[in-house]
Structure 1
Amino acid sequence: MRRDNETQAVAEHSDGALLVGDIGGTNSRFAIAAGGAGWPLLEHWRELPNDGADGLEDQLRRYLQALPGAAPTAACLAIAGPIRGRRARLTNRPWTIDSTALENALALRRVTLLNDFAALAHALAFLPPAGSTVLQAGAAGARGPLAVLGPGTGLGAALVLQPGEQQQVVPTEAGHADFAPVAPRDWALQQALTATAAPVTAEQVLRGDGIAQLYLALGGGKRTTAAVCAGAGDDPLADEALSWYLQLLGRFAGSLAVTLGATGGVYLAGGVLPRLAGTLPGSGFLDGFNDRGPLADYARAIPVRLVTEPAAAAGGAAIAARHASDRHSAA
């Protein structure tokens, strides 16, 4: 995930209803957020496929026109792509998004954009009980910073300091850290990738299409990640590729946790991992996470969860806007 200024750019929003969105390459999801502290109340949830739409303005217009009653005049949108000031670009669709243009076209007082992983980070401390699944319980009453990471088009990661109403979200470039091979086949993979791109980053190996890349490295044919995941249980090479991938992801997550001091918990998110929700608990992920040598007990004390709340990014956008409004009111 690229370093953006999204956490600084979250605008002050007045109290009351707020239009929130989670804008991905495939779908745009919208809701109206209300409520005070804690997880926001998300009403009028709607998911619109992006195929056939002219752009985000078109999607927002369709959503707003279908709303009963008066529409909100402010919006905070989580975007699956880099943010630069008041503009954003979707990574998986050729849409450029301009806040000012949306405000003018749709008569909105304020439109704020933030990266989808920053929005996920804002959501972590407020997720409803059913919004995540425990992979490692960790120490009872574990407290401290939180980290969120996950593969998609890239490899996103963010840190949350002082989780709660006074929290600060710090986007990171952790996905661009060097890939750290351990086993002989990891080294062989790094050497093969170095022939086409150097240095080899964690993102090159662990982003969504990394599973297909590992399948190919094991001698399988050229397949998509979705096809490899679908073949699990029937194709031994698919099983091996997934096992290898999850162990490597666990190593990266464990390294990130000890580097950032994320003693309050590590959360896994992104577009790929929900497909592997049934595979993760019995995989080598936690072996890789906890293989920290003298810090193994430190790692085992860190709670690890898989985010399952489908509205996590949209809810995080609402929380980010609420916190910005609170800071503005206190100033």
Structure 2
Amino acid sequence: MGDNAAGEALTVLVADIGGSNSRFAVATLTRSWPKLTDLVSFPNAGAAGLEAQVERYLAGLPTGAPARACFAVAGPVAAGRARLTNRPWSIDAASLATTFAFRQVTLLNDFAALAHGLAFLPAGGSMVLQAGSRDARGPLAVLGPGTGLGAALVVSPGRQQRVVPTEAGHADFAPVGARDWALREALAAAETPVTAERVLRGDGIAQLYRALGGDERDTAAICARCGDDSRAAEAIAWYLELLGRYAGSFALTVGATGGVYLAGGVLPRIAGLLPGSAFIAGFNDRGPLAAYARAVPLRLVTDPGGALGGAAIAAAHDASDRDGTA
């Protein structure tokens, strides 16, 4: 996976560029999960752009910059260029290579980076939510809320896998029942279209809490009080049901018989609430295809370096393609 033609370990600067934060590390690959060192996270607020964040990171590295870099970004990528969905930053792989003298720059969607690493996650890197009955050759899906709502697909998981990035978070929100429809109408009064991301992104729990009559805007505070605040518990259960329905619909759409992995910045905070939750019920509520849904393995990615490790694996594949060592 990560060996070059000479059998040496590959070293890559990896970065996970979200709407709120930029995380950097140096990844070393052989044939196991990448070893991450020099991990640093910078807030994006106030930064001039990605170049400024890269310069800041490199200035603090105790050794020189690796020759290769991979940037996993929260937005669509085409022809080596990207624009963050939730921050007005434009990113160009060729420009980054020139500015920082990288031999190779790989640019990909952040959930595509996560997808690259799914088949190689170390033991203990994920938590089982539903055992299911895994189809070893079936597609894998990864999705989850952070600043936005990301999703990607892995076809033929393993060393010959193909990763398919998506913008499925921008599909229309699909309400079920009067309460969901009332939420949709309230959101539509402010902005259309009402997308799944609009409801399920990082501030989704706080948004639902306010819809139920609460006034707290901090998601972490709402999650912390769910044991004592019935409205907080109701908002979280509602959110998990909606996310489960979205994930179940995505799994059916892409045929994710290999499993669905949940990731992003929100769900690890409430990992203890997920097993047996409204998320599982919403995922499996598929009518005549309920048995199909129950057979899909569900896992939560708990390894905090999931996107960074996946970015390193993507860079290794890119290096093999460029060097002819695949």
Structural RMSD (CA) = 2.6
- 1-side partners of 2:220 and 2:294: how far apart? 31
SS in 2 for 1:270: coil
Corresponding position of 2:16: 22
Which residues of 2 match residues 23-102 of structure 1 at below 5 A? 23-50=17-44, 53-102=47-96
CA shift digits 1:257-303 (9 cap, x unpaired)? 11111001001111211111122124211011111112111111111
TM-score (norm 1): 0.87
Task: Work out whether 1:223 is the aligned partner of 2:217.
Answer: yes
SS in 2 for 1:129: coil
Corresponding position of 2:196: 202
CA shift digits 1:91-139 (9 cap, x unpaired)? 4544433333333332222322211111111111111111111111112
The answer to which of 24-33 and 262-271 deviates more is: 24-33
- 1-side partners of 2:182 and 2:47: how far apart? 44
- 2-side partners of 1:203 and 1:68: how far apart? 39
Partners of 2:202 and 2:266 within 8 A in 1:
yes
- 2-side partners of 1:13 and 1:287: how far apart? 48
Corresponding position of 2:284: 290
Following superposition, the deviation at residue 322 of structure 1 comes to 1.3
SS in 1 for 2:124: helix
Structure 2 counterpart of 1:101, which letter?
Answer: S
Partners of 1:82 and 1:115 within 8 A in 2:
yes
SS in 2 for 1:310: coil
Cα 1:260–1:158 shift into 2, 3 Å: same
Cα 1:268–1:86 shift into 2, 3 Å: same
Following superposition, the deviation at residue 249 of structure 1 comes to 0.6
Cα 1:219–1:316 shift into 2, 3 Å: same
Following superposition, the deviation at residue 48 of structure 1 comes to 3.8
- 2-side partners of 1:180 and 1:282: how far apart? 23
- Where structure 1 has 5 or more consecutive residues not aligned to the other structure, the ranges are 1-11
- 2-side partners of 1:52 and 1:130: how far apart? 36
Following superposition, the deviation at residue 308 of structure 1 comes to 1.0
Corresponding position of 2:208: 214
Following superposition, the deviation at residue 170 of structure 1 comes to 0.8
Following superposition, the deviation at residue 171 of structure 1 comes to 1.4
SS in 2 for 1:17: strand
Following superposition, the deviation at residue 198 of structure 1 comes to 4.2
The answer to which of 225-234 and 118-127 deviates more is: 225-234
Corresponding position of 1:266: 260
Corresponding position of 1:257: 251
- 2-side partners of 1:85 and 1:321: how far apart? 16
SS in 1 for 2:102: coil
Cα 1:234–1:35 shift into 2, 3 Å: same
- 2-side partners of 1:270 and 1:29: how far apart? 13
**Residue 236 (structure 1) aligned to one of 212, 230, 234:** 230
TM-score (norm 2): 0.88
Structure 1 counterpart of 2:251, which letter?
Answer: A
- 2-side partners of 1:104 and 1:135: how far apart? 44
Partners of 1:159 and 1:171 within 8 A in 2:
yes
Cα 1:48–1:210 shift into 2, 3 Å: closer
- 2-side partners of 1:83 and 1:122: how far apart? 15
Partners of 2:173 and 2:199 within 8 A in 1:
yes
Following superposition, the deviation at residue 69 of structure 1 comes to 4.2
- 1-side partners of 2:46 and 2:289: how far apart? 51
Task: Work out whether 1:173 is the aligned partner of 2:164.
Answer: no
Partners of 1:74 and 1:109 within 8 A in 2:
yes
CA shift digits 1:58-108 (9 cap, x unpaired)? 332343344344431221111223434333334454443333333333222
Cα 1:259–1:84 shift into 2, 3 Å: closer
- 2-side partners of 1:151 and 1:45: how far apart? 22
- 1-side partners of 2:99 and 2:271: how far apart? 41
How many correspondences in the alignment? 320
- 1-side partners of 2:152 and 2:255: how far apart? 12
Partners of 1:73 and 1:110 within 8 A in 2:
yes
SS in 1 for 2:119: helix
- 2-side partners of 1:95 and 1:180: how far apart? 30
The share of aligned pairs that are identical, in percent, is 67
Task: Work out whether 1:190 is the aligned partner of 2:172.
Answer: no
Corresponding position of 1:320: 314
- Where structure 2 has 5 or more consecutive residues not aligned to the other structure, the ranges are none
- 1-side partners of 2:284 and 2:203: how far apart? 25
